[in-house]
Amino acid sequence: MHRFIYTSTAVAPLSDQQLADIAGACHRNNRRAGLSGLLVMHKGKFLHVLEGEESRIRMVCDRIQHDRRHRDFKVIEVASIDERAFSRFTVVHETPQKLPLLGGETVLPLSALLPSNSKERGAVTSVRKAVRDFLASFSVLLAA
Ligand SMILES: Cc1cc2nc3c(=O)[nH]c(=O)nc-3n(C[C@H](O)[C@H](O)[C@H](O)COP(=O)(O)O)c2cc1C
């Protein structure tokens, strides 16, 4: 199994509909591909953790890399892993209630990620560090 973590930046402010579409694609495709992880969407920045079979990660990443809604990819971790940090795939957004989600998709509020001991940051130190660094890059979230 592999884990891939990167950050990226939206090319332009994304609408709530566009963010809901991305969350929808994650739910539609990642579960089917056996991928767990986390996608934090905050103020035009993304932190993405994908875990699962290497070939499946490659397939999804190939699409994501060519997605013109974001750019400035910074790879944080590529690792061969024995254990997952997440048991499922979770999307996080500041105000999920504003997103026009289709039925069945859950998006977690950013507030769930803020406590430094939040389980939602994952069960592996390097992943928790990636989440902490990402949150700390927003001055208003410095307390995280
Ligand atoms: C920051 C970002 C993260 C994304 N993450 C995923 C993902 O984890 N899984 C996925 O299938 N699509 C993801 N997408 C969307 C893909 O780029 C692509 O639009 C989608 O996979 C197409 O799937 P569909 O044919 O089912 O609509 C992401 C897009 C962006 C901008």
Distance CA 108, CA 84 (A): 19
| Strand, helix or coil for residue 73 | strand
Q: pLDDT confidence of 142, banded at 50, 70, 90? A: low
Does residue 142 lie within any of the structural domains?
Answer: no
Q: Give distance in angstroms: CA of 46 to centre of ligand 1.
A: 12
Domain assignment of residue 119, yes or no: no
The residue whose CB lies within 8 Å of the most ligand 1 atoms, and thus the one to mutate among 4, 5, 7, 22, is 22
The domain in which residue 66 lies consists of 2-109
* Residue pLDDT, tens place only, 64-123: 999 999 999 999 999 999 999 999 999 999 999 999 998 778 899 999 999 999 999 999
Write the CA distances from 133 to 30, 38, 96, 114, 128, integer angstroms. Answer: 24, 15, 22, 12, 9
CATH number at residue 59: 3.30.70.100
Cα(54) to ligand 1 centroid in Å equals 17
With contact defined as beta carbons under 8 Å apart, do 24 and 102 qualify? yes
Split into its structural domains, the chain has a count of 1
Q: Is 56 in the pocket of ligand 1 (CB under 6 A)?
A: no
